[in-house]
Amino acid sequence: MKVPFLDLQAHHAPLRAEIDCAIAQVIDAGAFAGGPFVADFEREFAAYCGCEYAIGVGNGTDALWLALLACNIGAGDEVITVPSTFMATAEAITYCGATPVFVDIDESTYTMDPARLELALSSKTKGIIPVHLFGQTADMDPILEFARARGLFVIEDAAQAHGAEYKGRKAGTLGDAGCFSFYPGKNLGAFGEAGAVVTNDARINEKIRVLRDHGQVRKYNHSMIGWNCRMDGIQGAVLQVKLRQLDRGNALRRKHAAGYNNAFRELETVIAPTEAEWGKHVYHVYALRVPERDALLAHLNEAGIGCGIHYPIPVHLQQAYRGLGYGRGTFRVSEQTSNEFLSLPMYPELSTEQVRAVVGAVEEAVAFAALN
């Protein structure tokens, strides 16, 4: 049985008539760049997250960049984040003229290890970006406590954590600002590029609204140098339809993850993901850890199971960041997991048979291939 890594067609098929209708409304209204469909989505997404404001922007990278700018982060500043993330987290820091400073991740949650923050602190540190990797929040209380005691901003990279929770509160609403991506494959995905910042801070909300639209406070009145980071009207309309499916989709992801976990607990050579007691994991990515990752990947590909690797090279070892001067061996957990992570198919529309097929193929590989 073939199991694709992602299946957006299956996700959109039952919503197709509703989405076609939403797109037709945008065309009829001619509201393509920003406008009422984006404003309606912003209100609905803020309400979903349980916070005051949501600001729609062009993509998740814009969200991070503008959130940093709204917190006055600029040249000469340092922002602490993790190397086990998508490149965009660090890039956004660099765009501001600031320098990313990395700390390693925790071995069980794969998110920022708060105990290591002290090692990365300097007189230039202005903020911290914890990443809610794979759909599980970082341990936010000690991170927030560390930041508050030193007057640092906390901007959450929640691009993989739509609807995830930390102690009953939604990812993105715990720090000064939370940044979301609606890239098509995310738990809440647009029909193209889109992103949002959520915040309870009126000043951050105002500043991002101005920054995303060329620094305009009124038409052709520019109070600062901004950029074009508006969300498309079509994305706002599509996201309103898809937001109504988010909780259902996350519940199904959790069910499939439980199915995987039950099977993989029995296997000695693989480490299944764990859900920390503080949170609700929404499994954007279901990543196993396997020392013989490449052998398992080859076996699963042969069996018709689509897999991914998130991410094969930690950010501090990317060629683009060689100028930062981090060598191999600096962040043991991030480096080891980058060699061991293997992402299995994970989306709401997986059938029980497909989950069983993936489990069967992994078990077969562990039993017969050179995994032991």
Interacting residue ranges for ligand PLP, rule: CB under 6 A = 59-61, 85-86, 88-89, 131, 157, 159-160, 181, 183, 195
Of 356, 363, 344, the closest CA to residue 286 belongs to: 344
Of residues 37 and 183, the one with the C-beta less far from ligand PLP: 183
Of residues 85 and 205, the one with the C-beta less far from ligand PLP: 85
Residues with Cβ < 8 Å from 70, sequence gap 6 or more? 177, 197, 203, 204, 207, 208, 211
Of residues 3 and 285, the one with the C-beta less far from ligand PLP: 285
Closest-CB residue for ligand PLP?
A: 60
Helix (H) or strand (E) holding 342: strand 341-344
Of residues 155 and 159, the one with the C-beta less far from ligand PLP: 159
Residues with Cβ < 8 Å from 33, sequence gap 6 or more? 230, 232, 233
CB of 241 to ligand PLP, least distance (A): 19
Give alpha helix (H) positions in 135-266: 140-150, 202-211, 233-243, 246-264
Of residues 160 and 199, the one with the C-beta less far from ligand PLP: 160
CB of 71 to ligand PLP, least distance (A): 17
CB of 184 to ligand PLP, least distance (A): 9
Q: Within 13 A of 31's CA, how many CA atoms are on the CB side?
A: 17
Give alpha helix (H) positions in the chain: 8-12, 16-29, 36-49, 60-70, 88-95, 117-120, 140-150, 202-211, 233-243, 246-264, 293-302, 332-340, 352-368
CB of 35 to ligand PLP, least distance (A): 20
Of residues 136 and 354, the one with the C-beta less far from ligand PLP: 136
Q: In terms of C-beta density within 10 A (0-12 exposed, 13-18 middle, 19 or more buried), how is residue 214 classed?
A: middle
Of residues 61 and 173, the one with the C-beta less far from ligand PLP: 61
Of residues 180 and 264, the one with the C-beta less far from ligand PLP: 180
CB of 343 to ligand PLP, least distance (A): 12
Number of helical H runs and strand E runs in the chain: 13, 14
CB of 125 to ligand PLP, least distance (A): 21
CB of 161 to ligand PLP, least distance (A): 9
CB of 68 to ligand PLP, least distance (A): 13
Please give the C-alpha separations between residue 351 and each of 7, 8, 26, 27, 364, in angstroms, as whole numbers: 12, 14, 34, 35, 20
